[in-house]
Structure 1
Amino acid sequence: MNEPAIPLSQVKLFGSRFARPECVLATAAGDVFASDRRGGVSHVLPHGEHRLYVGATLDLAEAFHPNGIALQQDGSFLGAHLGMHEGGLFRLTRDGQLTPVLREVDGETLPSTNFVVLDSKPGRVWITVSTRRTPRMGAFTRAVQDGFIILLDEKGARIVADGLCFANECRVDPTGTWLYVNETYKRELTRFRIGADGSLSGRETVTQFGPGEFPDGLVFDAEGGAWVTTIVANRVLRVARDGSVAVMLEEHHPEHVEEVERAYQAGLVDRSLLDHARARILANVSSMAFCGPDLRTGLFGVLLADRLPTAPLPFTGAAPPHWTWR
């Protein structure tokens, strides 16, 4: 494995009091948003004030647990509910109103729902469900391939890709041609060609990852490089258009990776192994956003810390659809 492009010494920690900030977003104005396990979204304003937006609804039998979040133009959020026994997509306003957007698709009640992201095409939303198994920990193996991708647009919601091995974050590439998705326990980055009607076809493996590299977060730079955050190995990787992989940042603990790798090969990965990573800065790095006025700073979501790592980057990010919103 080649040396990281960004030394760990250049990482700084941002904010405080985050609670399992799995998914992070940033805007041109300097706002930072993170999903929050307390039932909503944490917001750090440009001047440093920290706000927490939470909501509850009788439509859920358990507390709202947003995993992936997406900022809407009106300032509300879409949140993928990562419930133990149920899932779905919900809309959260900043005054605490929580309403269901999607509870079933193609006749299936949605199980624990992982991620939601906006397309640059207005009104088009992509959603991932990692597995149909309940609880989802039963799918922490490459032997289970029942995850799927949902497209929600003006025609409604429908499953557009199925048979994925723990579908995690997905993202449309800067050309608008491909939808990329991380298959976490297959340890692959996969892509589909997007049709004019939003259909997906031509499934391809972009690259396969190595020991301990379980892909979670996904974002693109302006050159079309896919940045993938990997839990366990605690690496941030850049996958070039040709599929070649470069280590951009890491906080690697070989002993922990070896322990998880043995369990993975035996089909015995469980939550306790994932929740005891030794990294303290990139503490199970789970997502990434480009931020700063020039989109040359990385902001990272983490599963096991209450502060967000940030680092200067050698590439400029592709501006997300919500970049100019607040």
Structure 2
Amino acid sequence: MSIKSNTENPLKNWQVNREEIQFLGKDLQRPECILTEPNGTVWTADARGGVVKLNHDGLQKIITPYSENDLNNFEKLSNLENRYVLAQGSLPNGLCFDKNGNFIIANWGTDHLETMTRDGKMTTILTEIDGKPMGKTNFPLRDSKGRIWFTVTTRTNPWTEQLNTRATDGYIALIDENGVRIVAEGFCGTNEIRFDDNEEWLYVVESTAHKISRLRVKPNGDLYDREVYANVSGFPDGFAFDTFGNLWVTLIFTDQLIAITPEGEELMLLDDSNAESKKMLFEHYQNRTLTGEILGSVQGTLCPWMASLSFGGKDMKTVYLGSLRGTRVPFFQSPVAGQKMIHWR
């Protein structure tokens, strides 16, 4: 990232004012990933098999290829065990736009990579890689060359076992003019990925290892020189750079928002955790005894199972938070603008 030298970090001594947090949308289902557009439109992933279109004038529209009968069946799956542990149904997770403005969807429920037009026409892109089921597809990302990168968290089934085994079976794959291939593997709970401004480094969340890694990017998409960028104080899920060079990170389960400064310092920006349940969570993590029931008992009140963040607004200073168990999208103003994703440039 390009860093503004000789200036004070705008996040030092700054935290989100809870009283200034506003909310967008209502009755959303698993709004895990948020995409913003320059015209002010906000999109969220939705557990009804598609996305929800939102704007600040009150518009809310579900876009999905599924029928009303299908949606009723999805509703029957909407309990903790089915939806969040067994991951049943169609569960759009990470989103990005392709070069035509359609959605690339990493589907946590079907374990597929999909594409959907803005009017709800769905096509499955990938169901397997190297002749094997892909595993828990998590997050897609488009680069400046139009290539699609995506992560798979784990091939462990059920995925919750990986929280205890710490299996390093996560990977990153790339779709380009030559097809699809795995470009890096051996990650512990691969989650979101982001580039720096020049696409020289690819940053990778390793949720179960509590760290952010990064790899250098060759012009052909090969990755090398893997290193740990930062260790963090919880389960990182989503992240985004700001224009100063801070890396904002959501910590799922404990529902905290932190920032890693260019110097490597961790700043707490928003803490919606519960001290007692947080202590229990980390005790079970250390003992490798986490269960779906334990995870289900840990959540905050503002953005339960805080999973992602996205910068938007006309000045890129509005921060939107995605979650797995929330029903609306919290947002607030940042003192520094966010890095523009490729569809903003």
How large is the RMSD of aligned CA atoms in angstroms?
Answer: 1.9
CA contact (8 A) 1:142 1:186 kept: no
In the alignment, is the contact (CA less than 8 A) between 1:22 and 1:35 conserved in 2?
Answer: yes
How big is the shift at 1:147? 0.4
Bigger mean CA deviation after superposition, 246-255 or 274-283: 274-283
Aligned match for 1:41, one of 28, 48, 51: 51
Greater mean deviation of Cα atoms: 228-237 or 19-28? 228-237
Cα distance in 1 between the residues matched to 2:44 and 2:312: 13
Match of 1:87 in 2: 111
Please tell me whether the aligned partners of residues 56 and 64 of structure 1 are also in contact (alpha carbons under 8 angstroms). Answer: no
**Counterpart for residue 102 of structure 2:** 76
Matched, 1:97 2:118: no
Q: Determine the structure 2 residue equivalent to 1:286.
A: 307
Normalized against structure 2, the TM-score is what? 0.86
Partner of 1:65: 91
| 1:135 corresponds to 2:145 | no
What amino acid is aligned across from residue 280 of structure 1 in structure 2? T
Write the mapping of 1:250-269 to structure 2, written as runs, cut at 5 A.
Answer: 250-269=271-290
Alignment of 1:89-238 (within 5 A): 89-119=113-143, 121-141=144-164, 143-210=166-233, 213-238=234-259
Equivalent-residue separation in structure 1 for 2:269 and 2:286 (angstroms):
26
Query: For structure 2, which runs of at least 5 residues remain unmatched after alignment?
Result: 1-11, 68-87
Residue 3 of structure 1: how far off its partner (Å): 7.2
Match of 1:21 in 2: 31
Deviation at 1:256, TM superposition (A): 1.1
Q: Greater helix percent: which structure? A: 2
Give TM-score scaled by structure 1 length. 0.91
Q: Is the 8 A contact 1:8 1:251 kept in 2?
A: no
CA contact (8 A) 2:239 2:250 kept: yes
Q: Distance in 2 between matches of 1:272 and 1:252?
A: 17
Q: Is the 8 A contact 1:81 1:114 kept in 2?
A: yes
In the alignment, what sits opposite 2:263? 242
Q: Percent identity?
A: 32
**How much does 1:223 deviate?**
2.4
- Say if 1:40 and 1:52, in contact at 8 Å, map to a contact too: yes
Give the letter aligned to residue 145 of structure 1.
Answer: T
Distance 1:126 1:65 in 2: 19
Deviation at residue 46 of structure 1 after TM alignment:
5.1
Q: Report the secondary structure of 2:294's partner residue.
A: helix
CA positional deviation for 1:157: 1.1
Whole-angstrom CA distance in 2 between matches of 1:277 and 1:71: 32
